[in-house]
């Protein structure tokens, strides 16, 4: 769980296309501190309820639990995307804004 939806990154130099390894190191530490690195690196995936007919009944029983998990994951995903966006210079954002996650 993230500590706060308002992470202070004012000390972080925005990525301008140079020294990527240094920038990556710094933002990775922030992601670790906020306990959201698993969202960034893909080890924590968004849980999606099954849709095949032979498991729909079971899925309905789990849906309430998974719905909460999905909502939490989506919140963390938005936090990660926001942090990354805030850590990029405008010229870099224009190159990556159309890329999917």
Percent of the chain's residues with pLDDT above 70: 74
Residue listed under structure tokens 């719905």: 67
- pLDDT single digits (tens) 10-21: 878 888 999 898
What pLDDT, on a 0 to 100 scale, did the predictor assign at position 65? Answer: 72
- pLDDT single digits (tens) 75-100: 888 888 888 888 888 888 888 777 76
Of the pLDDT bands very low, low, confident and very high (cuts 50, 70, 90), residue 3 is very low
Residues 6+ apart with CB under 8 A from 43: none
Residue 89: how many CB atoms within 10 A of its CB? Answer: 13
3-state secondary structure (DSSP) of residue 56: helix
Beta bridge partners of 15: 88
What pLDDT, on a 0 to 100 scale, did the predictor assign at position 100? Answer: 63
């Amino acid at each position: 769980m993230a500590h706060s939806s308002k992470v202070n990154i004012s000390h972080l130099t925005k990525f301008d296309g140079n020294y990527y390894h240094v920038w990556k190191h710094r933002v990775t530490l922030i992601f670790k501190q906020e306990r959201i690195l698993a969202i960034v690196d893909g080890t924590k995936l968004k849980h999606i309820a099954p849709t095949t007919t032979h498991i729909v009944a079971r899925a309905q029983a789990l849906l309430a639990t998974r719905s909460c998990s999905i909502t939490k994951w989506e919140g963390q995903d938005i936090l990660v995307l926001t942090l990354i966006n805030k850590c990029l210079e405008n010229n870099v954002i224009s190159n990556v804004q159309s890329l999917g996650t």
